[in-house]
Chain A
Amino acid sequence: MQETILEVNGLNAFYGRAHILFDVGLKVRKGEVVALMGRNGAGKSTTMKAIMGMLSRTQGEISFMGNPIAKSAPHVISKMGMGFVPEDRRVFTDLTVLENLEVGSQSEREGAPHWTAEKLFELFPNLGEMPHRPGGNMSGGEQQMLTVSRTLMGNPYLVLLDEPSEGVAPVIVEQMANMIMALKKQGLTILLSEQNLQFADLVCDRAYVLENGHVRFEGTMEELAANDDVRRNYLSV
């Protein structure tokens, strides 16, 4: 069994006075693609943001590659080799494709896939055709690819991928699935949040199911497929 790259224990998160996450615990091992599942508002994005250090009020332990990061700022966590792709894309619309990549670029990291703009353009030929186009003049799908590429430029060990299939047409969803499988082959570890069971089935090894900020299930995709209760109660199936 591979080493654990990310471990979360007893994670609680708050927005103002509202308590959003309750003692969330999860583990991701090197090379895995793990799904964080649940409905809108279940706490998937909050979990990701908490891991990435983007929330001001959290409690609990988070360790990444053996280092505690629960109190670290996002840029410190990013420098340790964790990448984050937000659900709402958030490309820098005034910056060109190359400039967007420049913002994300970090030095090479041992044991992580090394990315350059050229390599990314091979993975996403669309982007290679428009290196000088401002991010704001791109289609939704292209922006999504740019956001992923921008994060990969930091040569991360682990990428948090927030709802890659949210709100996009099934045809695009299939492209996203292919991309994730390609990244996995390169040796990247991925934690992705997802509502769509079919999508998760296609690309993930294991899943955690959240409901109202609690982890309600953890196991392999096969186990999840076999568990009708969890699927009916906590997923929109």
Chain B
Amino acid sequence: MTLSGLLVQLLNGLVDASSLFLVASGLSLIFGVTRIMNFAHGSFYMLGVYVAYTFVSHMGESVGGFWVAIILSSLVVALLGALIEIVILRRVYRAPELFQLLATFSLVLILQDLALFIWGPEDLFGPRAPGLTGSIEILGRNFPQYNLVMIVIGPAVLGILWLLLNKTRWGVLIRAATQDREMVSTLGVNQAWLFTSVFALGCFLAGLGGALQEPRIPANLALDLESIGTAFVVVVVGGMGSIPGAFLAALLIAEVKALCIALGTLHIFGIDFPMSKMTLVAEFLIMAIILVIRPWGLLGKPQAAARNDHSAEPPLRPSLPIFKWCTAALVLALLLVPVFEETFPYAQIILVEIFIAVLFAASLHFVMGPGGMHSFGHAAYFGLGAYGAAILVVTWKLPMELALVAGPLLAVLGALVFGWFSVRLSGVYLAMLTFAFAQIVWSIVYQWDDVTGGSNGIFGVWPSDWLSSTTALYYLTLSIMLAGILILRRILFAPFGLAIRAARDSDLRADAIGVDVKRVQWVAFVVAGLFGGIAGAIYVFSKGGISPEAIGVGRSIDGLVMVLLGGVQTLFGPIVGASIFTWLHDSVARETDYWKAVLGMIILLIVLLFPAGIVGTLSHLWHWVKHHILLQTKKEEASK
């Protein structure tokens, strides 16, 4: 590696830092004031690229026209953001953290299909910036002029934001609201418009970040999730809500990545370390390290406890006999399904999918409901279980039966490591760390061609002969799912189940009666990882293989949606949620090209209308009816 090469890489790092900062600063600003982790922030960035593509194509031939187009694009995105804030987000500010994340995630789905509808599925290469198409020479290497402009824009935006926040009344109000929104409103400030303005500014920054990329990268539909992951990392590393922190973090992450590229492949002790391949993992490793050393990020402050009002949850009680009988009847019905194979040929296949989803959702529910830890990376354990089993069968030639048992052990190993770090944090930080670990697993799987098959995945993983029929696999999956659910339920009623609920309700009290809270939570993580891994292992055999898409962020989010759809407060909720979600997913996807948007709308409706989830809502309804009938009878008795 030459000095000039290193220098150019470091300069490239500065360019990336600028664009990272633009997106992350908006995200951080929005989180600081509204306390919403806006999953759709990457989508606004993506829209910025697309809108800029359209505008610059039409009016960007002159230097002035280009920059006007960039600003206009950012304004369009800001306007869209304001509209979304007013119509949707205003309704979820009081909802629990998880519901907010879910609402914004539904926006990701909807906005992605909106972009698909307007701009189509092809990558769009936009025109370059007039007047900046050339390059300058640095130590004999060419460096694009446009990149120099990018380097300057980051610090310039930081400066403007600083002035805005510290030297204007609006800025003072924003900073006050970041700390205590209720007080601000009792002092006569209309929060609603404050929030809208912050959200619009945040979206403007995301849009600007995207628009500025227009000459550099093609507009495409993967930009949203790609950028949101990194933006989350930047915000968390910098400290939530801290703009200078976001700048520092963007710089740190971009430069570390640049160094990885500059180093190329290192030879240490005769082993090749392909450092340039580290870039996908680098940011998540940085985040994991920073969060363990400084749990609140570089310049962040400890956050108030997350608003998960689990402590008002009713105690777990043994099931009523009627419920037990209903369950038995349901199981009997499921056992009889293969008998009607001819009438419903598709039933077993969709049910196998549902069973796997149920087990996955139940294992996630275990850690996030009773455990109170909101994992945003449960796909990691599903993935480790799946790849564990697949590798054992294909590479090691082990029989399926053994792989089904040994595969999930890889998930346990993962949960042991990831859980150890994760339980040291709480709230949004924990959620983001679990997300980071899942991304690491995904990146490793995606890049480690020799072992995991890289982006192609591993295929030809079929069950043993005696299990190869649809019906045999159906019964196998059904029994594993039932056993899993019963065991998880049993654990929740055992002393350990009491301990995890106690640790969630009050870690202060738990600590003061000798409970090692972190250890309890760690074990809970591992238990959840085990069952998530089992779900992954059966999945491999039901599909005949596994690929990175199946274990990506989408899987983690699906799990969350399932649990919340059913209701996080009940044990039965995730089962219902997973069933309905899988069925919906399957039937909607067959009907339309825009299934993501439809799914997004459904999620949004549920979040806005049934915040307690389906089972939760039904049980509230039941209590309400009981209460009113009881009241009625009492009144009648009294009148007699």
Contact A93 B188, beta carbon cutoff 8 Å: no
* Chain A positions within 8 Å of B176 at CB level: 92, 95, 99-100, 103
Q: Which of B167-175, B274-282, B598-606 contacts A (4 or more CB under 8 A)?
A: B167-175
Contact A102 B183, beta carbon cutoff 8 Å: no
A residues 197-217 near B (Cβ < 8 Å) are: none
State how many angstroms separate the Cβ of B345 from the closest Cβ of chain A: 49
Q: With A90-B180, A92-B179 in contact, do A102 and B186 touch (Cβ < 8 Å)?
A: no
* Chain B positions within 8 Å of A73 at CB level: 185, 190
* Chain B positions within 8 Å of A167 at CB level: none
Instruction: Considering the complex, give the chain A residue whose CB is closest to the CB of B623.
Output: A17
> Among A54, A73, A79, A92, which residue has the most Cβ atoms of chain B within 10 A?
A92
Contact A95 B175, beta carbon cutoff 8 Å: yes
Contact A75 B180, beta carbon cutoff 8 Å: no
Q: For the complex, give the distance between the alpha carbons of A56 and B94 in Å.
A: 10
Instruction: Considering the complex, give the chain B residue whose CB is closest to the CB of A86.
Output: B183
Identify B187's interface contact among A16, A93, A99, A103, CB under 8 A.
A103
Contact A92 B180, beta carbon cutoff 8 Å: yes
> Among A52, A74, A102, A154, which residue has the most Cβ atoms of chain B within 10 A?
A74
* Chain A positions within 8 Å of B172 at CB level: 95, 99, 102-103
Instruction: Considering the complex, give the chain B residue whose CB is closest to the CB of A147.
Output: B183
A12 in the interface (beta carbon within 8 A): no
Contact B175 A151, beta carbon cutoff 8 Å: no
B312 in the interface (beta carbon within 8 A): yes
Give the number of residues in A that approach B within 8 Å (Cβ atoms). Answer: 25
Contact A94 B179, beta carbon cutoff 8 Å: yes
* Chain B positions within 8 Å of A93 at CB level: 179
* Chain A positions within 8 Å of B178 at CB level: 94
Contact with B along A78-116 (1 / 0, CB 8 A): 110000101000101111000110111010000000000
Contact A106 B188, beta carbon cutoff 8 Å: yes
Identify A74's interface contact among B94, B175, B179, B185, CB under 8 A.
B185
* Chain A positions within 8 Å of B186 at CB level: 52, 54, 74-75, 78, 84, 86
* Chain B positions within 8 Å of A94 at CB level: 175, 178-179
Identify B189's interface contact among A54, A75, A95, CB under 8 A.
A75
B61 in the interface (beta carbon within 8 A): no
B residues 443-468 near A (Cβ < 8 Å) are: none
State how many angstroms separate the Cβ of B175 from the closest Cβ of chain A: 6
State how many angstroms separate the Cβ of B617 from the closest Cβ of chain A: 16
Contact B188 A92, beta carbon cutoff 8 Å: no
B115 in the interface (beta carbon within 8 A): no
Q: For the complex, give the distance between the alpha carbons of A74 and B188 in Å.
A: 7
* Chain A positions within 8 Å of B308 at CB level: none
Instruction: Considering the complex, give the chain B residue whose CB is closest to the CB of A73.
Output: B185
Contact B175 A92, beta carbon cutoff 8 Å: yes
Q: For the complex, give the distance between the alpha carbons of A97 and B274 in Å.
A: 54
B515 in the interface (beta carbon within 8 A): no
Contact B312 A16, beta carbon cutoff 8 Å: yes
Contacts A/B (CB < 8 Å), 16 sampled: A16-B312, A52-B186, A54-B182, A75-B188, A78-B188, A79-B188, A90-B180, A92-B180, A92-B183, A94-B179, A95-B175, A99-B172, A99-B175, A100-B176, A103-B187, A104-B188
Q: Which residues of A contact B (CB under 8 A)?
A: 16, 52, 54, 56, 73-75, 78-79, 84, 86, 90, 92-95, 99-100, 102-104, 106, 150-151, 154
Q: Which residues of B contact A (CB under 8 A)?
A: 94, 169, 172-173, 175-176, 178-180, 182-191, 312
